[in-house]
Structure 1
């Protein structure tokens, strides 16, 4: 194992005076993160009681704002007209927050919306520490001191300089004053670090306290950790850039996941696999979960099981498939999908867009597609083109129907259709990226690295074979990375034997690698065959928004 400095428990806390906090508040079209949208984001960045900056913007919810919401917040359809979409705003907000912890009053609501929107836009959510001033206030201000724990009540009680008014930035500013008042209350009780504040309203369970010693001697390195029972069987697998820091949280009040709390009584030891990079750790975690199938892990247990929508060759129509197959016979597939329940809506959308609504309802689409032939203008060729190359025909169809629904006041139908179109774009985009990577026999790429083990600067090299992880290494600054790349090219040869179309059976691993390869500053060092970063723009949801806009009266078609 690499000789790396192991942090003591005292090293792991961030003093509150040095902690950067971003206090955020949202205005939305409703209360359901899965069904409603954000209309405004306001945030204040603070450190040590000093305001470092503010962030505020309207967000186009891409749907009408309910009248009662507009009357409550004062945010109308006219106010958000021309505002950027959440796909544009969210990266800007994440750039503003950086590595800061997030603070919100009733954080489950605000952070729930932000993380849900990140998932919908396929933007990586950083999972920052979160402080909930509502939960903290309930532990600090008892009912004999305040009538309730609403933000307006607390702001008035602590003498906040801003009165909350259901507008994002005003409410965020008021929450800052409430937060500082809470910190003043908790300081004498020993809350001196960010970690203390995160868990101030909770208590560790007796089992957590009894098992805390299991984290005492773990290394502070990137790697995979495995909780083992008395017989050495794997109970749970996780990964972290700093194993010791991460595992320590399992024995604190910050850990509230039921699957972990139920697992801890059986845990008797923790095994660590030291990894060169976080990317290697993520891949090894997936492979161990797939092999060991730990009872307390859910995600990644069965990577071989997936749901695809497949356009079969010849007379075969659109149908569900569990395995991605070669597309050399003229077939095509999109996915993998999150649920088998997504298959029929997607199939209906494609058939409706290409064959027409009446034909799609006849139920004999396979025969219709088979008789149509394979000319470029045939329905079958058009469906294949929409699935693999150009979704324009489907998006134009959806935009026209959306406009019809909206003008008729059928907003629920419009939202259902919009979600279905976004589901199609997501599935097609995933398949296009996996398709490209799966076809590359060998790729060795490099990006700048600041890992401490190589002196703080240098190169991280990654080798990929047909979308499978082949190897990685770190190269210190001043050394030629090419010999290291050639050495990596000699490793993992057996991975090629496990290659599959569209990375079938290991798509989760491939998507980790794609995320790395699509990052800034990545350079191709060695490649067998041809490689270019997969084009995602063709399946960008923005295309649907633009097409919908063009259907408005007076707009150019």
Structure 2
């Protein structure tokens, strides 16, 4: 397929390329005050072999030239990319290697497009993508880029349409919203035609708001976005270092807490009006001040964020505002103990769980494996436990300790010891029995029961492994860890009983050990509390564990070894991962 152009022009050759403005017509480097009615716009769409302008190539160019709301020309050509077209791209676009075999190479197609678009302003849906490929062609041909900044219908849609009206600004979603006559098909000309209609519908929305020129359109912001932009001064004085930021409201209340690698850049992004979360726009409109805390590195910022969330419970944060609110499996203090779901952990507990039903399900599996009762019938002064099974051997009332003969206090104590061992990390036997039960049910073709058992077993493995990891960290009185810093040097953390006691940064060229010694000397005192995590908030301990186990991290010193149970649940994490994948 050769180039198809519905406008009369002379084909360019490489000899014509001199990089001068005269070749392409006089095109302003900025919009000036060009009337939208008089402006010549070329709406362009590309199909490519992939998403990288450097590594991938164009397979099709489609463009529509419009002026005053009328189509005055179209341009379409397949392009030989000079490289294989990946199967997923063929499936998406329908463009095969056979179709582009006789098509022009990108250099020839690009020059033809330049002639078609001379003197115009380019428009594209997600202009950064299309312009990236077109500019790359210009660079390879050593041709000066002759166009002013393009108009992007993604950006315009985000500024003109409300989130309620247009939750998505994908071309297909906008085409559906505006009920355009040409729907996008992942072919360049069809998509360019659809983009033209979307552009015209967007222009209709702002025509009665005094938007008359290309410059006014490019700089247009809705009233809501303008109110957000008016708050930019709140973030202009922030540093460019990592840390935590706090948006405060009219009565100095904390509205929102977040972390950032670059405080100024992150906070300024809230005033652009591009955040899809409606509550964030509402929060910014209420904000009167932005406070910040500079941090040595990402771990310190993450920990400080968690602590500030717990302290202030900001109205516009949805996560981590109640870090100690979870469910735990604990052994009751009854004469014949059983596993109970509780808000308060003891030293021998499993958790935390975010879902009470999941906690109860895992508790049931452990009760089955250890032989603990799940009934509430044994009295305070009982000398034995006896829940009789029915004639078929099934447990009456569902008690997991049902047996044909009474269970004495001494015999039951052995079962309790087994459950305690599981909670402390020796869970290999119970985990293997639960996995074997999945296989038995599947072999018996009881597939629904097998699936339920699989999901419960995976939840048990994941929770036990997580609890064992965090317990191993939290029992260590002091742990000093160093991790390479992106800019050179070392990120340093002093961890005591699963909590960050101090943090610092030894920059490139600075001896790290004196910094470590100063951090240890000034570190916060942490007294271990009750529970398997020694009082550490689970989210903070989990954040620290991830940080100290990432590639490159080194233990500088430890008051005792950081060890996991030899027969812990971590050995079966691969099984639980496969079980979760099977559920999808």
TM-score normalised according to structure 1 size: 0.59
**How much does 1:319 deviate?**
0.9
Q: How does 1:524-539 map to 2 (within 5 A)?
A: 524-532=555-563, 538-539=570-571
Q: Cα RMSD over matched residues?
A: 4.3
C-alpha separation between the residues in 2 aligned to 1:220 and 1:325?
Answer: 43
Q: How does 1:111-510 map to 2 (within 5 A)?
A: 135-139=170-174, 143-147=179-183, 154-156=185-187, 158=189, 205=225, 207-312=227-332, 315-326=336-347, 332-355=348-371, 358=394, 361-363=397-399, 371-374=410-413, 378-407=414-443, 410-450=446-486, 456-496=487-527, 501-504=532-535, 506-510=537-541
C-alpha separation between the residues in 2 aligned to 1:385 and 1:158?
Answer: 68
**How much does 1:519 deviate?**
1.0
In the other structure, the counterpart of 1:96 is none
Q: How many residues matched?
A: 386
Gaps of 5+ in 2: 1-46, 58-82, 89-128, 130-166, 203-219, 373-392
Q: Which digits, 9 at most, give the CA deviation of each residue in 1:407-444, with x for residues without a partner? A: 56554443332221121112111211121111111111
Kindly indicate which of the two structures has a greater share of residues assigned to helix: 1
SS of the residue corresponding to residue 257 of structure 2 reads strand
C-alpha separation between the residues in 2 aligned to 1:373 and 1:509?
Answer: 37
SS of the residue corresponding to residue 248 of structure 1 reads helix
Distance 1:411 1:283, change over 3 A: same
SS of the residue corresponding to residue 231 of structure 1 reads coil
Match of 1:46 among 39, 42, 52: 52
Distance 1:490 1:138, change over 3 A: same
C-alpha separation between the residues in 2 aligned to 1:54 and 1:459?
Answer: 44
Distance 1:391 1:300, change over 3 A: same
Could you tell me whether the CA contact under 8 Å between 1:309 and 1:334 is conserved in 2?
Answer: yes
Could you tell me whether the CA contact under 8 Å between 2:468 and 2:565 is conserved in 1?
Answer: yes
SS of the residue corresponding to residue 550 of structure 2 reads coil
Could you tell me whether the CA contact under 8 Å between 2:497 and 2:528 is conserved in 1?
Answer: no
Q: How does 1:54-73 map to 2 (within 5 A)?
A: none
Distance 1:134 1:297, change over 3 A: closer
Q: Which digits, 9 at most, give the CA deviation of each residue in 1:475-534, with x for residues without a partner? A: 123333222111111123422366864143511111111111111122111222333478
SS of the residue corresponding to residue 496 of structure 1 reads coil
Gaps of 5+ in 1: 1-22, 24-42, 58-102, 104-131, 160-177, 190-199, 327-331, 451-455, 549-557
Distance 1:363 1:56, change over 3 A: farther
Larger radius of gyration: 2
SS of the residue corresponding to residue 527 of structure 2 reads helix
